[in-house]
Amino acid sequence: MNLRDNINKLNESDGRKQADLIQMWKNEASSNLQSMKAEWEGQLPIDQLKGYQQYPVAEAFEKITSEPYHKVVPMWRKWAVAALFTGLLAVSGLYLYQRASANVTIVAEAAIHHHKLNDGSEVTLDKNTRLDYDGERAVAIAGRGFFKVAKKDSGASFTVELNKGKVTVLGTRFSVTSLPGEVEVAVEEGRVKYEYEGRSIILNAGERMKLSGEDIVSSPILSPNQFSWSAQVLEFKNTPLDRAIQDIGRHFHQNLSLATEIKSAGKCLLTTRITSENIDQVLEELKLLFQIQYHKSGDRYVITSMKC
């Protein structure tokens, strides 16, 4: 006797039509089967329900149909389990990533960006600079930044991770450059400690350091425009042009130099206030003042001639 015959037998009081309707309803969706099971269980006395749940389904199926019993897990259920597992992994991965990474990331792309940190410290980021910080007193920087660090009554230090080394301060004003092949720290106010590979140096106001290869080299700050980029203003007063060229290059973070054959640049004095947004505008101004000629190769500018 096949399964359909058994359905007819179980439902003979309702007739074959009723059995067909039940079978059609059962075939519509597995969710309907769950609903039918819940409804069935809700109507049975608890003592009968226990026996129903423990009934040997496989044995009964084989006796009635003479066919082996195979428990089939619907494909939708397999996909649902896989999707749920994948979702849990994704959520867990995101959580772990967020816990392992910095809480906040600031990226200054096409313009200089000013930001106040949670502890009251202020930072100015140069173009193409990224800052990660944990919401407290620790940051990591890739690019160039100027910091005004707020002092804390607790004496908690403020740390800046560079691509090579770390800067630690209590309360001060300083700038850092952290780029592949270029690491610099310059202090405007207060003092900082720079550490790299087991070595350290204390920098006071008016001092700076650069990595030369793997060596830490410190020197006094000679230019009043050391931090000009953060305020976006360059000022010169009777400044020899060769020195002004260095300041302009640093200000815009560009490689600007004089051709070796130019010997008179030190005799040309520059007095001006520059608020230009890019180095090309400054070079056009120098064309008017000193009739300079220059060429550009990649990110390198070379002044090839000039007149005082």
CATH number of domain containing 197: 2.60.120.1440
Domain assignment of residue 73, yes or no: no
- Tell me, yes or no, whether 130 and 216 share the same domain: yes
Specify the pLDDT at position 56.
Answer: 54
Q: Residue 295 sits in a domain of what CATH number?
A: 3.55.50.30
Residue 95, judged by CB atoms within 10 A of its CB (0-12, 13-18, 19+), counts as exposed
Specify the pLDDT at position 32.
Answer: 53
- Tell me, yes or no, whether 215 and 233 share the same domain: no
User: Which of the listed residues 186, 220, 254 is the one where a domain comes to its end?
Assistant: 220
- Tell me, yes or no, whether 125 and 190 share the same domain: yes
Q: Are 237 and 271 in contact, with CB atoms under 8 Å apart?
A: yes
Domain assignment of residue 34, yes or no: yes
Specify the pLDDT at position 154.
Answer: 77
- Tell me, yes or no, whether 210 and 243 share the same domain: no
What is the per-residue DSSP string for 3-30? HHHHHHHHTTTTHHHHHHHHHHHHHH-H
- SS3 at position 304: strand
- Tell me, yes or no, whether 146 and 189 share the same domain: yes
- Tell me, yes or no, whether 216 and 110 share the same domain: yes
- Tell me, yes or no, whether 204 and 110 share the same domain: yes
- Tell me, yes or no, whether 159 and 177 share the same domain: yes
Domain assignment of residue 266, yes or no: yes
Q: Are 143 and 128 in contact, with CB atoms under 8 Å apart?
A: yes
* Residue 4 amino acid letter: R
Domain assignment of residue 112, yes or no: yes
Count the residues in the chain. Answer: 308
Residue 150 DSSP label: P
* Residue 13 amino acid letter: S
User: Which of the listed residues 220, 236, 265 is the one where a domain comes to its end?
Assistant: 220
| Number of domains making up the chain | 3
Domain assignment of residue 27, yes or no: yes
- Tell me, yes or no, whether 204 and 238 share the same domain: no
Q: Alpha-carbon distance 3 to 13, whole Å?
A: 17
The whole domain housing 56 covers 3-65
Specify the pLDDT at position 11.
Answer: 45
Q: Alpha-carbon distance 221 to 223, whole Å?
A: 6
The pTM of the full predicted model, rounded to 2 decimals, is 0.60
Specify the pLDDT at position 59.
Answer: 55
Specify the pLDDT at position 33.
Answer: 52
- Tell me, yes or no, whether 181 and 207 share the same domain: yes
- Tell me, yes or no, whether 216 and 240 share the same domain: no
Tell how strand 293-297 and strand 300-305 pair up: antiparallel
Domain assignment of residue 8, yes or no: yes
Q: Alpha-carbon distance 228 to 249, whole Å?
A: 11
Domain assignment of residue 97, yes or no: no
pLDDT (tens digit, 0 to 9) for every residue of the chain, 308 residues total?
A: 444 454 444 444 455 555 565 566 556 545 555 655 555 455 545 444 444 444 454 554 444 444 444 444 444 444 444 444 444 434 433 333 333 344 789 999 889 999 999 889 999 999 999 999 987 789 999 999 999 999 887 778 999 999 999 999 988 999 999 999 899 999 999 999 999 999 999 999 999 999 999 999 999 999 999 999 998 899 999 999 999 999 999 999 899 999 988 877 778 899 999 998 899 999 999 999 999 999 998 889 999 998 88
For 288, other C-beta atoms within 10 Å of its C-beta total 8
Q: How many helices (H) and strands (E) does the chain have?
A: 9, 18
User: Which of the listed residues 170, 187, 220 is the one where a domain comes to its end?
Assistant: 220
- Tell me, yes or no, whether 195 and 246 share the same domain: no
Q: Are 112 and 252 in contact, with CB atoms under 8 Å apart?
A: no
Specify the pLDDT at position 246.
Answer: 92
Specify the pLDDT at position 110.
Answer: 86
Domain assignment of residue 273, yes or no: yes
